[in-house]
Structure formats: structure tokens, C-alpha cells
Amino acid sequence: MSNHEQHAPLGFWRKYVFSLDHKVIGLQYIGMAVVMALLGSGLAMIMRIQLAWPGAKLSWLGKLFPNAFPEGLLAPEHYLSIITMHGTVMVFFVISLALVSGFGNYLIPIQIGARDMAYPFLNALSFWVMVPACLVMIASFFVEGGAAASGWTAYPPLSALKNAVPGSQWGQTLWLLAMALFIVSFTMGGLNYVTTVLNLRAKGMSLMRMPLTIWTMFIAAIIGLVSFPPLTAAAIMLLFDRHGGTSFFVPAGLSIAGKPVMHDGGTPLLWQHLFWFLGHPEVYVLILPGLGITFEILATHARKTVFGYKMIVWCLIVIAVLGCVVWGHHMFVSGMNPWLGEFFTIGTLIITIPSAIIGLCMLATLYGGSLRLNAALLFALGTLALFGTGGFGGVFLGNATSDIFLHDSYFVVGHFHFMIGGVTLFATLAGLYHWFPKMFGRHLNEGLGKIHFWLSILGFYGMFLTMHFVGINGAPRRYYDFKAYKMLEGLQTYHLCITISAFTFAVASIIFLLNVTWSLWRGKKAERNPWDATTLEWVAPSPPPHGNWDGPDPVVHRWPYDLSTHAGAKDFAMQTEGPDKAPVTS
């Protein structure tokens, strides 16, 4: 791949839009995720206003969207569409896109010493399938009945029968189409990741010399390839149930509002199994790369080798394998066989062991280090803290006995926001502060970065730690309001606190976007290796050209965490430095 003619200068369209360069595609993914994040967070804000001040009139929204907000009042059907779309957009079209597709595409080739992905065209195709997936998802807001309203889990029969809820008309159909497109795109990306990592590593880059970011992306891609296709199948089956007259998920003898339903022979539990067969591994597809990025940043900015590198790799593999066989812990109260429930409980709780080891390794990586408390490290420390706190919530939910009470309550909402919301988002932000100089040749503003961090972490704990206890006190999720229940009245202050925290978080995010915009043009110029980091991308110019390195192909002589192992003036050795510069330890 050292042939520079493959990476000749191109015109604007081929360079920035229909590009085959993995870095441009990575940034396109991140850009698309930012746009979708604006939508997803906007929906969250409307949801939070309703929950803090039930029945509040928002005249400005009423003027903007007279159909959705008659006289500024949010109707229950739109509340359901909003929670459904918030969940779907955030999980699949923000976190997956930014963290796995965005950072994955940007970092995999450049960190393993390849000049591009194994299949650059497939890579571009994967992005251009994701664009219609996003557009179809957004379009569902504008069809009759509004966007899908059966929750991001889309349990049938609610999602199968058109008259079960207004969002189950065309909105649900578009939702299913968008999800199928998403998985098609994600599968193409995953194939590319696995092939690239296995075949295109630079000379000397053995598997055990790969940065943990690459390990986690590699494992996440494999999990994705194993677990995502069943949902494509399920989505197509549900489409057939909705439009083709089949009955995969709808049993006989049902009636909606007194009218008989013309289906028979299916079972709703089949969908739940297929959905969670994707849904649970999806959590690891998102969290693992977040952990990899965090290790990378903790090591670089604490000037320390990663503690327990080999152990971490093995833990990741164990988590990946177990993560694919414990989906049933989402179904403890679903009517599944109780014996199966105990099997899934014991399996799920085994995962706490490798997870706790990873947490310990993160903490131990800081031990004896020299912490540079910049925005990147702050967000990485935040990820570490959220991973611990959120992980402990899993001990409650993975256990069938406590899950009976906590299932479908705000405890669950708090827990998964810590894990697939917090760990992943904080890792993404840490990654952006860390790699922005490489991506754009300029630094993000540190002062604004710190303000961003503090407002974010305060807002985050205010929202989601509080939610755990709203759930422990009995409040179910997906409720439009709680007025009917006297026993839940005492929780209204909590809801108010959560909403205020949510707005704090929103302000933080606006500050971040302003910082990005300003820094793209006015930020401090970055050198090749501003952080004294060790991995291969820091050998390339900032930003790297098409083809990544201006010189010959990089050759790797050591593992990626040779920090604090050398006595000279320089406390690190880059992966490309030969044994003549510093002794090779691994």
C-alpha cells in the first residue's frame, strides 16, 4: 500500500464528499452523528419539560409545529413518539455513528500503520447507505400518525398492529426500514474493520502490540457481525406482519378496541429474543470502543503504561463472548421460563468480573503517573467514574430477583444512560479533545473544554444518578405523567432536578459546539505529536494527508504504551522508534 499514486490529489467532490479516504469518511460519520445528536437531544429536552412541568404550555413550540403541539400542549401520542425516537436516534445514529463508525474509520488504519481500509469503496458505500437510513428515520416524523411510538425496543403487537397506537402506522414502517438500512451499513463497516485489522497491520505490529482502541474496535466489529443480522431478519419479519399478512409475532384471538385482529399463530416473545440478541451485544459494541479510547487517553495524559494490557485484552474477549449469550436478562419478567431466568442471571453476573478487572486496570493506570489535567484527561476520568457507578447498577438489574421490582423503571433508564449514554459519550468527547489536533491540525480551546467538562459531569450525575432512585422508589419509565398515582407524588422534586440537570448538560454541549466551530479556524496550531503520544497516527502530519504518512510506511518496534519506562529526558518511546533509541520491552 506504499504506492503514493493511489492517493493522488483529487477535486473537491471526490476529496470531501464522495471520498474513499478513511479519515474523511470517519469525520463524515462524526459530523452526521452531531446533526442527529441535535435532534436526539432536542427531543430529550421536550420530554424533560413535560416530566418536570406536566401539561406545561409551550406556545413557541405550538407556533413552530401546530400539529404536534396544539396550543403548545404535548399530546401523549407525541410524547411516545419522542421517547421512541430519542432512544433510537441516540443509540443507533449518534453513539454508534460517532464512536464506532467515526473513530473506528478514522483510527483503525492510521493506528495499525495502514494507508487506508482494506476495502475503501465498501467503506464509502457503508457511509452512503447510512445517509438514507438517517433520512428515512427523520422522515418518519412527517407521515400520518407521526413517528414510531412503541419504544426503541419496538415490541409487537404494539408495533405490529396499525391501530394499536398512532405511531404504528407509517411511522413504524419507516422505523423498521431505517433500522434495516442501518444494519446493512454497519455490517459493511464491520467486515471492513475485521479484514483491515487482520490483514493490513504494519511490519512489526503484532496483535499484542495493537493499541487498545484497535483491540476494542476489532472485538466490537466481530460482536456486531455476529449479533446484528438477526435483527435485520426480525425487522423484515415484522414488516411482513404489518404489510404482508403474516403472523410471526402476533398470536390468535386478539382484539383492539373491540375490533378483532386478523392474525394467528405468532408469539410476541420471539421478537424480544431476536431484538435483545442484537440489543444486548450492541451495548458492548458501543461500550468496548469507549473503554479502549479511555485507556489510550488515560495512559497518554497520565504519562503511564497501561496496567494489565494482556489481561485487558482477555477480559474484552470474555466480555464479548459472554455478552452474546446473556440477552435474556432483558426479559426476566417477560413470561420466559423461570429456569432460563436464573441461567441468564448467573451468566450476566459473571460479566461483572472481567468488567471490574477492567475498571481496576483503569484506576491502576493512574497509579504513580503524572496527570496532565487537560480536557481530554478530564473526560477520560469521567468515563472511568461513570463506568464504575453505572456498572454497579448492572449488579441490581442482572439479578432476576431485584430486577422484578426495578424492571422497566427509571432505575433502568438511569443505568443504561450511565453505560451506553455516559461511558460512550464521555469517551467520544475525550477522544475528540485528544484527536482533534490530529484531525484538523488545531487544538480545541482548553478553557472552554474545562467548562464543558464541569457542566457535563454535574448535569450527568444530576440526571442519571437521580433517576436510579426515582426507579428504586417505584416510578415506571415511559410515563407521560404521574398525576394518577399518589404514591409517586413525592418524586416530582426529583423530576425537576433531573430536568434542570438536563438543561445544564445542554448548555455544556452548546459551549462545546461553539468551541469546535471556533477552534476549526482559530484554534492553536497543532504539531505532529502535541501530546508526546506513542502510537502511529502521531508520526503522521497534522492533519494527515490522503495516504496518512508523508514518508515511507511506518515500521513498528514496540508495544503502544512505552510511557514512563525510560529514564532519559524523554519519558516515552513511539512505536516506530527502534531498539537503538530505547530498549524494546514488548
Partner 1 sequence: MKRSPITALLLTVFSLLVPVYGYFLWSKKILPAPASLHGTGIDAMIKYSMVCTGLMLLAGHVVLAVFIWKYSRQDRATIGRVAGKTEWRWALLPLILMTVVAEGGVLVIGLPVWKQLHVTGKPGEAVVIEVVAQQFQWSFRYPGPDGKFGETGLKYATDYDLIGVNRKDPAGKDDLVQTAVLTVPAGKLIHLKMKSKDVIHSLFLPVQRVKQDVVPGMVISTMFTPTKTGKYDILCTELCGLGHYKMRGVLNVLEPAAYEEWLKEEAEE
Residues 287-316 that bind partner 1 (CB under 8 A): 302-305, 307-308, 310-311
Report the half-sphere exposure of 527 (CA within 13 A, side-chain side): 5
Give the C-alpha separation, 522 to 564, whole Å. 33
Which is nearer to partner 1, 198 or 373 (by Cβ)?
A: 373
Q: Residue 322 interacts with partner 1 (CB under 8 A)? A: no
Which 256-275 residues touch partner 1, going by CB under 8 A? Answer: 256-258, 260-261, 266-269
Query: Minimal CA–CA distance to 413: which of 359, 457, 466, 484?
Result: 466
By CB under 8 A, residue 333 contacts partner 1 = yes
Question: If binding means CB under 8 A, how many residues of this protein chain bind partner 1?
Answer: 113
**Identity (one letter) of the amino acid at 447?**
G
What is the nearest approach in angstroms of partner 1 to the Cβ of residue 365?
Answer: 10
Q: Decide if residue 564 touches partner 1 (CB under 8 A).
A: yes
Judged by phi (left if over 0) then psi (alpha if -120 to 50, else beta), residue 341 lies in alpha
Least distance to partner 1 from the beta carbon of 109, Å? Answer: 28
Q: Nearest to residue 452, comparing CAs of 432, 472, 479, 476? A: 432
**Cα-Cα-Cα-Cα dihedral of 47, 53, 59, 60, to 10°?**
-50
451: left (phi over 0), alpha (psi -120 to 50) or beta: alpha
Per CB under 8 A, 343 contacts partner 1: no
Which residues, 6+ apart, have CB-to-CB distance to 378 below 8 Å?
430, 449, 450, 453
Which residue lies nearer to partner 1 by CB, 436 or 482? Answer: 482
Nearer to partner 1 (CB atom), residue 34 or residue 472: 472
| Residues from 39 through 98 that contact partner 1 (CB under 8 A) | 76-77, 80
Q: Does 478 bind partner 1 (CB under 8 A)?
A: yes
- The answer for residues whose C-beta is within 8 angstroms of residue 13's C-beta and 6 or more apart is none
Q: Provide the minimum distance between the beta carbon of 381 and partner 1 in the complex, in angstroms, as a whole number.
A: 7
Using CA atoms in the order 204, 209, 210, 212, what is the torsion angle rounded to 10 degrees?
-170
Considering only residues 163-202, where is the footprint of partner 1 by CB under 8 A?
Answer: 164-166
401 counts as binding partner 1 under rule CB under 8 A: yes
> Binding to partner 1 (CB under 8 A): which residues in 134-153?
150-151
Near partner 1 by CB under 8 A: residue from 185, 192, 294, 466: 466
Query: Is 530 a residue that touches partner 1 (CB under 8 A)?
Result: no
**Residue in 12, 7, 129 with CA at minimum distance from that of residue 545:** 7
Binding mask 222-251 for partner 1 (x = CB under 8 A): ----------------------------xx
Identity at 207, one-letter amino acid code: L
Residue type, 580: D
Among 368, 578, 579, 583, binds partner 1 (CB under 8 A): 368
User: Which of 523, 567, 564, 526 shows the shortest CA–CA distance to 543?
Assistant: 526
* Selected range binding partner 1 among 131-139, 235-243, 458-466, 518-526, rule: CB under 8 A: 458-466
Give the bridge partners for 572, in sequence order. Answer: 563
Piece of the chain touching partner 1 by CB under 8 A; list 179-187, 395-403, 537-545, 549-557: 395-403
By CB under 8 A, tell whether 511 contacts partner 1: no
**Does residue 369 bind partner 1 (CB under 8 A)?**
yes
* Near partner 1 by CB under 8 A: residue from 40, 211, 359, 437: 359
400 or 508: CB nearest partner 1? 400
| Residues 243, 244, 247: CA angle, nearest 5 degrees | 100
Assess 425 for contact with partner 1 (CB under 8 A): no
Phi, psi angles (nearest 5°) of residue 92 = -90, -35
Q: Is there binding between residue 208 and partner 1 (CB under 8 A)?
A: no
CA gap 32, 37 in Å, rounded: 8
356 near partner 1, rule: CB under 8 A: yes
Cβ 192 to partner 1 shortest distance, Å:
33
| Cβ neighbours for 245, distance < 8 A, ≥ 6 positions apart | 262
